[in-house]
Amino acid sequence: MTTASSPVGRRERNKQEKLDRIMDAARELFAQHGVDEVTTQQIAEKADIGAGTLFLYAKTKGELLLLVQNDAYAKALDQGREDAALEAGAVEAVLAITSPIVACNRAQIDNGRTYLREMLFGDPTEPARREALEIVARTEEAVATTLQRTAGLEDVRAATTARIISAAMYVSMASSLNVEAGVDQIIDEIAQQIRVLLAPATDGGAF
C-alpha cells in the first residue's frame, strides 16, 4: 500500500513546489514592477518553469495576482482578528480588523486596485476568485462577531452592519479619488464611516 501511494505523494509535492515557486516569483515581480508591467513569461522564467506549465496553474496575470494577494489578505485578516480581540470599544475593534487589510491593499496601490477589480469582475468559475470572495465573507463574519461582542448587536443587525462596513472599506480602497491616498488616509476615511454607522448603537439610540 505504501509503495502504491508514493508516486501520488511525489506528484502532489512536485505540484505544490511548482506552485510555491510561481507564487514567489509573481509576488516578487508584482511588488517590484506592478502587475501591469510584468509578463507571464517573466514569471515563468523566474520560477524556472515553462510558460505552458505556468498556464496549468493560472491562465492570466489576474489569476496569478489573486493567488498571491489572497494569501496576503488571509494573513492580514488573521492579524486583524488577533488585534481586535484586544480591543474593548466597537470602533477600535472593527478598525483593528480592517487596518491590516487596508495596509495589505496599499502595499502596492496599482496591484491592490487590480486585485479588487479581479475579485469583483473576474471569471466567476476561477477558484482563486472564489477564494477572494470567501476572504471577504470571513472578514464580514469577523466584523459581525466583533460587533456582537463590543456593541451588543444582535445577529442580524451585526451581520448587516458588518456587510455595510465591508462595502465601505472596499469602496474606499478602490475609489479613484483615493489613488494617491496612503494607508492612514484610507483608515481615517473608514473610521469616520464606522463611527457614523455605529453612533446610534453605541450612544444607545435607535439604529
- What number does CATH give the domain 60-202? 1.10.357
Neighbours of 175 (CB within 10 A): 13
- Over the stretch 130-153, which tens digit does the pLDDT of each residue have? 999 999 999 999 999 999 999 999
Residue 204: predicted pLDDT: 47
**CATH for 1-57 (3.40.50.460, 1.10.10.60, 1.20.1250.20, 3.90.550.10):** 1.10.10.60
Are 1-57 and 60-202 equal in CATH topology?
no
CB-CB contact of 96 with 78 (8 Å): no
Max CA separation in the chain (angstroms): 68
Each domain of the chain, given as residue ranges in start order, spans 1-57, 60-202
Block residue for cell numbers 515581480: 29
Residue 15: predicted pLDDT: 86
Residue 7: predicted pLDDT: 57
The pTM is what? 0.84
Nearest Cα residue to 177 out of 189, 166, 165, 195: 189
Residue 6: predicted pLDDT: 54
Q: List alpha helices for the chain, DSSP H.
A: 2-33, 40-47, 51-57, 61-84, 90-105, 109-121, 127-151, 155-174, 183-202
Residues of the chain with pLDDT under 50: 1-2, 204-207
